[in-house]
Amino acid sequence: MIIIALGANLESPKYGLPLQTCQTVLVRLEELGLKIINCSRWLKSAPVPISDQPWYVNGVVEIETDLNPQDLLALLHSVEAEFGRVRTVQNASRVIDIDLIAYHDVVSKPDDPLVLPHPRMHERAFVLLPLLDINKEWIHPVLGQTAKELSQNIPYDQETMEFESD
């Protein structure tokens, strides 16, 4: 199972509100050859770490692709750039964020530049809660716990809510 997480908390001049941007990114990923197998509901979540940034819109998708993990990540970064993502400081607000969360059961070696599975995914409500929509029984290849088990240990200070369109 290949898992990608999407999030946005800034309006895009070209694509609109964060939810519209995330939905348009999914269309673009399919145009580029990724097959979307399953898409979670969209959640709103407070920034992590806690800050005065606007809340995020987040979702998770399961995809299929023949790309290897490095080429897939390069494609995701190119789509971020196409949609106006500018990387400034870590955890800054953004018009789009696309993360490669897991690539089947691949576990990175310590010296790999691409860390799989995503090193903080098991600590993030905005990844785990949408992942439950897709596959509660997905097993983290390092921790050996299901998505459902991991979600029971989400840090208490991570706020989420059901997305209601404005």
**DSSP-assigned letters across all residues of the chain:** -EEEEEEE-S-BTTTBSHHHHHHHHHHHHHHTTPEEEEEPPPEEE--SS--SSPPEEEEEEEEE-SS-HHHHHHHHHHHHHHTT----STT---S-EEEEEEETT----TT-SS-SS-TTGGG-HHHHHHHHHH-TT-B-TTT--BHHHHHTT--TT--EEE----
* pLDDT tens-place string over residues 74-97: 999 999 999 987 776 666 688 999
The predicted-structure confidence for 109-119, as pLDDT tens digits, reads as follows: 888 989 999 99
Question: What global pTM score does this model have?
Answer: 0.92
Residue position matching structure tokens 């999407």: 6
CATH of the domain at 98: 3.30.70.560
**Per-residue pLDDT averaged across 42-64, rounded?**
90
pLDDT at 165: 55
Domain range for 23: 2-162
**pLDDT tens, position by position, 15-52:** 999 999 999 999 999 999 999 999 999 999 988 767 78
pLDDT of 160 reads 83
Q: What is the mean pLDDT of the chain?
A: 92
Number of domains in the chain: 1
Q: Which two tokens stand for residue 97?
A: 């964020």
